Amino acid sequence: MNKLKILIILLCSCFANTYAQVGINTSDPQEALHIAGSGSTIRVEGLDNTNNINNLGGVNNYNLMVDTSGDLSLGLQSGLLLSTARLLTPVVVQTDADSGLNDAELYQENFTLTQRALVVINYHISIEFLSFDGLAEITDGRAKIAHNFFYIGDGTTADTSRAYGMASNVYSNFISDAATNSIVNSHSEIISLDPGTYSIHMFGAVFGGGLTADASFRGIFGSDDRLDISVIYL
């Protein structure tokens, strides 16, 4: 009986050593699983387009992701996340009374990432220039500056320690019927972000040089605007 137990233990030990490394098309596996051959492949049906919603089929290839536990999954497909005309009602931003710099938040747009990605943010916003009270065209010939930029937030609060996407335009006019009073700011920004919920806080700013009250004016942002957010999943 003891000899039988010893034999069983030896056989189990032998099989354990044999299957510590598995070779396919090779009798000398170099890893826990070694598939030899220049055309060797692995098929996991849980990742195909029948069984996985992130596999959209067709001729496309999809990124294979691995988490900290070593589990494999399909990455999301890169592409357009959002495209919208965000400013349904134009927003008025006036300079300070002495024509100094003033800004205001135009809108907030939220988005969520489920995995790390490069986020491509494109925007354009029209600006119309009028007198401070909005009743007259600008004809003083002085330079009027309008800026647009945005902060990234956590879905609620903007992180104002860093501004992105700065775009500026300068407008001046001596004769009201000799020049248009509407211009467009546009910019494209690429930002690397980890998974989470984020917000874009778009701002508009106006500046008349900080001269006098008669140099003050207003900018009307968003008679025409667009916000596009695309993601490149890493």
Burial call 51-88: b when 16+ CB within 10 Å, e when fewer: eeeebeeeeeebeebeeeeeeeebbbebeebeeeebbe
Rounded Cα gap, residues 228 and 188, in angstroms: 9
DSSP label of 95: P
Q: What is the pTM of this model?
A: 0.75
Query: What per-residue confidence (pLDDT) applies to 67?
Result: 79
Nearest Cα neighbor of 219 from 208, 233, 232, 234 is 208
Helix (H) or strand (E) holding 9: helix 2-18
Judge whether residue 1 has pLDDT over 60: no
Please provide the CATH number assigned to the domain covering 79-233. Answer: 2.60.120.660
Q: What is the mean pLDDT of the chain?
A: 87
pLDDT, greater one: 176 or 51: 51
Query: What per-residue confidence (pLDDT) applies to 5?
Result: 53
Domain ranges for the chain:
2-74, 79-233
Beta-carbon-side half-sphere exposure of residue 204 (alpha carbons within 13 Å): 28
pLDDT, greater one: 177 or 29: 29
Estimate to the nearest angstrom the gap between the alpha carbon of 73 and the chain centroid. Answer: 22
* 88-116 pLDDT, tens digit each: 999 999 999 999 999 999 999 999 998 88
